[in-house]
A and B are shown apart, each in its own frame.
Chain A
Amino acid sequence: SAVISQKPSRDICQRGTSLTIQCQVDSQVTMMFWYRQQPGQSLTLIATANQGSEATYESGFVIDKFPISRPNLTFSTLTVSNMSPEDSSIYLCSVVGQLSTDTQYFGPGTRLTVL
């Protein structure tokens, strides 16, 4: 299985600012995703991070709010822009390995609190 790290592990931010979360994988992977887990809620898919092209966003999520980069097969970033308290969540990166099993592996998550 892939080993996934995320930075930062947690942060407290002021309203109106932006935070970029990094996801690093120890091996090349075919697919990378970003999820959000709001307090007391389920994990919700934000977008699929596509290497070298624009991310594919799920309904309810837009690029202006959650810009995503994926410059190579092992790294991706998610930015939470113009934050409000409603953005307080755990943000998780997940990957599917090159062996293309039906399994997603998740990073440890980034706990974001917006004041």
Chain B
Amino acid sequence: DQQVKQNSPSLSVQEGRISILNCDYTNSMFDYFLWYKKYPAEGPTFLISISSIKDKNEDGRFTVFLNKSAKHLSLHIVPSQPGDSAVYFCAASVESGTYKYIFGTGTRLKVLA
């Protein structure tokens, strides 16, 4: 039972354009969401997070949107750069501070120069 789903295993985007990575979840008790980025042979690195009391959080080129009624979140990267090419994981937890994250299977983003 996959509680956090990333239905697109891969995505290709032209440099300078917007990248949109999507994530759906099934557990309505989730109240904290995160995005991690992973390069080959490295561990995932934290990118951005959002609490369920918000519907948007922005950090530079990265914005996460949360739609609680649809149980959907998305990560927007604008403008996309070749260095953004990586695997992106979304994760969710029942309570901020428990650190018990449920991860999605990841989306591989390729930004074309």
Which A residues contact B (CB, under 8 angstroms)? Answer: 4, 9, 31, 33, 40-45, 58, 92, 94, 96, 102-109
Contact = CB atoms under 8 A, between A and B. Distances in A.
Contacts of A106: 36, 43-45
Contact of B89 (A9, A43, A103, A108): A43
B4 interface: yes
Nearest to A30: B99
Contacts of B44: 43, 92, 106
Contacts of A41: 105
Nearest to B41: A108
Main secondary structure of the interface of B (DSSP, over half): loop
A41 B44 CA distance: 14
Contacts of A96: 99
28 contacts: A4-B43, A9-B41, A33-B99, A40-B105, A41-B105, A42-B2, A42-B4, A42-B102, A42-B105, A43-B44, A43-B101, A43-B103, A58-B100, A92-B43, A94-B43, A102-B32, A102-B49, A102-B99, A104-B46, A105-B43, A105-B46, A106-B44, A106-B45, A107-B43, A108-B41, A108-B43, A109-B41, A109-B42
Contacts of B49: 102-103
Contacts of A58: 100
Interface string B1-15: 010100000000000
Contacts of B36: 106
B97 interface: yes
